[in-house]
């Protein structure tokens, strides 16, 4: 087993919202009333059924409540266990599935405020990702700007399967805001189920949905690259979270070959896809879709032709590895250092911001500066 080194950054932790009612204190009267009067159910996505084996390692499964819902467990099982200096929280609460942009916006604001109060304020190592209501680009940008004032937010979080391919120009204001504010954009496994969860339709099984995440990441990378996101936002870093990475080399061979063949179609793509990936795209370590023998994995690392692409992650509490074997067998100590420390710090530049002496009062998330009406949104507020 390869041992983790102290001072690493765990780039993919999943604190769980215990229930929709846990967000009530962070909702205004209107939405609190909506949740209770309408009897809204918990927003659990079938991307991660709580009792599915992949949703929690057996020995990380709590006696009661959702896996990942307890900070003390996360400390003991992940943060302390692997000696990390930082842990980046990527809440996978099903707010993306909501169809109403107003409802999604209210829930995202509550979720981000909940993350600050229930997690970031309680452990100085924790950092956050801003969950955005992608149902509205305008509201997403506003939420990014609101949360970015708190330097503990280091990333914007989106799902790999949504309404449109992620390179589409409609999304670009989100990427502009992230680049401007020094936030990475994290793309996490999961679907809003507004489209079939595979590119050939609805499969029968949960395992198909999970396996298909890797293919969804591939098509999203193509979209992001060929639409020209990184020509427009060259400083933007995007992190593929829980994506797997062993598919990357052969995927890039194919993309590169077709780009050579039909690049006249997308003339703004002015660098080879492989170069764009090296400069702008990163991947979380877990899951490692490879056989357990070090020889094969080291060949795969060689096929990737860069030691800067991977970022350490446990994917806590998801079941990706057993015991302390978070790092695969046979990794060099140089690579361990790159993956655990150097690469995450190069990706999440906000980690350099003062980590301690944080004053929650001073940095409390306030109202949006744009006169946002938290019930109906900006447009309605303007017409009133």
Partner 1 sequence: MNVQFRSGAEPASSVGVKTAIADCDIHPARATATELYPYLAKRWHEHLETYGKHPYQGMMEGPPYPKAQPNASRRDAWPPEGGPQGSSLSFMQQQHLDPNNVALGVLCPLNTGQGIRNQDLSAALATAINDWQIDKWTSQDSRLKGSVVVANEDGLAAAAEIRKRAGDANFVQVLLLSRNVEPLGQRRYWPIYEAAEEAGLPIGVHAFGFGGNPITASGWPSYYIEEMVGHSQCQQTALASIVLEGVFERHPKLKMVMIEAGFGWAPSLSWRLDKSWQRLRSEVPHVKRPPSETIREHIYWTTQPMEDPERRDHLFEVIDWVGWDKLLFATDYPHWDYDDPSRVLPAGVSAANREAFYLGNARKVYGLA
Interacting stretch for partner 1, rule CB under 8 A, among 26-34, 46-54, 103-111, 354-362?
Answer: 46-54
Residue 300: CB atoms within 10 A of its CB come to 19
**Considering only 38-46, 72-80, 248-256, 323-331, which stretch makes contact with partner 1 by CB under 8 A?**
248-256
Residue placing its CB nearer to partner 1 in the complex, 31 or 259: 259
H or E element in which residue 111 lies = helix 101-118
Is 90 or 320 the residue whose CB approaches partner 1 more closely? 320
Distance CA 202, CA 193 (A): 10
Query: How many other CB atoms are found less than 10 A from the CB of residue 133?
Result: 26
Question: Of these, 37, 41, 63, 261, which contacts partner 1 (CB under 8 A)?
Answer: 261
Q: Is there a contact between 324 and 81 (Cβ–Cβ < 8 Å)?
A: yes
Contact by Cβ (8 Å): 30, 53: no
Please, which residue, 306 or 382, has the CB nearer to partner 1?
306
Judged by CB under 8 A, which of 59, 265, 334, 379 binds partner 1?
Answer: 265
Q: Which is nearer to partner 1, 212 or 341 (CB)?
A: 212
Query: Applying CB under 8 A, which of residues 83, 173, 182, 203 lies at the interface with partner 1?
Result: 203
Task: Please give the DSSP secondary-structure letter assigned to residue 193.
Answer: S
Cβ-based nearer residue to partner 1, 72 or 208: 208
Q: Which residue lies nearer to partner 1 by CB, 60 or 251? A: 251
Segment lying near partner 1 (by CB under 8 A), choices 16-24, 61-69, 250-258, 344-352:
250-258
Q: Of residues 319-348, which lie at the interface with partner 1 (CB under 8 A)? A: 319
- DSSP reduced 3-state for 14: coil
Query: Pick from 198, 279, 349, 373: which binds partner 1 (CB under 8 A)?
Result: 198
Contact 310, 268 (CB under 8 A): no
166 binds partner 1 (CB under 8 A): yes
The count of C-alpha atoms lying within 13 angstroms of the C-alpha of 89, restricted to the half-sphere facing its C-beta, is 34
- Contact, 14 vs 60, CB < 8 A? no
47, 129, 246, 314: which one binds partner 1 (CB under 8 A): 246
For residues 144 and 168, give the distance between their C-alpha atoms in angstroms, rounded to a whole number. Answer: 19
Nearer Cβ to partner 1 (305/382): 305
CB of 12 to partner 1, least distance (A): 17
Binding test (CB under 8 A) with partner 1, winner from 39, 201, 357, 367? 201
| Residue among 18, 65, 165, 173 that touches partner 1 (CB under 8 A) | 165
The 3-state secondary structure of 148-170 reads HCCCCEEEEEEEEECCCCCCCHH
Closest to partner 1 by CB, 30 vs 247, is: 247
Judged by CB under 8 A, how many residues of this single chain contact partner 1?
Answer: 69
According to DSSP, the residues that pair with 284 across neighbouring strands are 311
Determine, following the binding rule CB under 8 A, whether residue 172 of this chain makes contact with partner 1: no
DSSP code at position 245:
S
| Sheet bearing 126-131, strands edge to edge | 8-13, 84-89, 126-131, 153-161, 184-191, 238-241, 281-284, 310-311
Please answer whether residues 290 and 246 qualify as being in contact, where contact means their C-beta atoms are separated by less than 8 angstroms.
yes
Complex with partner 1: residue 244 or 377, whichever CB lies closer: 244
CA distance linking residue 332 with residue 252, whole number of Å:
25
Q: Which of residues 53-112 bind partner 1 (CB under 8 A)?
A: 53-54
User: Within 13 Å, how many C-alpha atoms sit on residue 334's CB side?
Assistant: 4
**Residues within the interface to partner 1 (CB under 8 A):** 52-54, 160-168, 191, 195-208, 210-212, 214-216, 218-220, 222-223, 226-227, 244, 246-247, 249-251, 253-262, 264-266, 287, 289-291, 296, 299, 302-303, 305, 319
């Amino acid at each position: 087993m390869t041992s983790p080194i102290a001072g690493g950054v765990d780039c993919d932790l999943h604190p769980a919202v215990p229930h929709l009612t846990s967000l009530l204190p962070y909702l205004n009267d209107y939405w609190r009333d909506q949740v209770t009067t309408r009897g809204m159910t918990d927003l659990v996505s079938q991307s991660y059924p709580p009792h599915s084996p992949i949703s929690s390692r057996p020995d990380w499964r709590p006696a009661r409540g959702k896996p990942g819902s307890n900070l003390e467990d996360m400390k003991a099982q992940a943060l302390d266990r692997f000696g990390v200096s930082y842990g980046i929280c990527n809440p996978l609460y099903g707010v993306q599935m909501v169809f109403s942009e107003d409802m999604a916006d209210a829930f995202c604001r509550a979720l981000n405020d909940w993350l600050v109060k229930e997690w970031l304020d309680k452990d100085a190592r924790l950092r956050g990702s801003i969950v955005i209501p992608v149902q509205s680009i305008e509201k997403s940008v506003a939420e990014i700007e609101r949360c970015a004032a708190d330097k503990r937010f280091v990333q914007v979080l989106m799902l790999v399967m949504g309404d449109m391919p992620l390179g589409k120009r409609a999304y670009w204001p989100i990427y502009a805001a992230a680049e401007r504010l020094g936030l990475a954009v994290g793309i996490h496994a999961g679907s809003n189920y507004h489209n079939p969860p595979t590119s050939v339709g609805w499969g029968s099984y949960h395992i198909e949905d999970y396996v298909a995440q890797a293919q969804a990441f591939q098509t999203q990378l193509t979209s992001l690259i060929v639409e020209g996101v990184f020509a427009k936002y060259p400083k933007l870093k995007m992190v593929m979270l829980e994506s797997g990475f062993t598919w990357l080399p052969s995927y890039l061979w194919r993309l590169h070959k077709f780009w050579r063949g039909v690049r006249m179609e997308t003339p703004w793509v002015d660098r080879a896809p492989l170069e764009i990936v090296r400069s702008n795209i990163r991947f979380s370590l877990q899951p490692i879709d490879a056989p357990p023998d070090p020889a094969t994995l080291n060949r795969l690392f060689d096929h990737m032709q860069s030691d800067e692409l991977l970022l350490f992650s446990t994917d806590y509490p998801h079941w990706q590895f057993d015991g302390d074997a978070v790092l695969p067998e046979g990794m060099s100590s140089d690579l361990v250092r790159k993956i655990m420390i150097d690469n995450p710090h190069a990706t999440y530049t906000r980690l350099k911001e003062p980590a301690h002496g944080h004053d929650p009062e001073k940095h409390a998330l306030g109202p949006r500066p744009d006169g946002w009406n938290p019930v109906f949104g900006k447009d309605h507020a303007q017409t009133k």
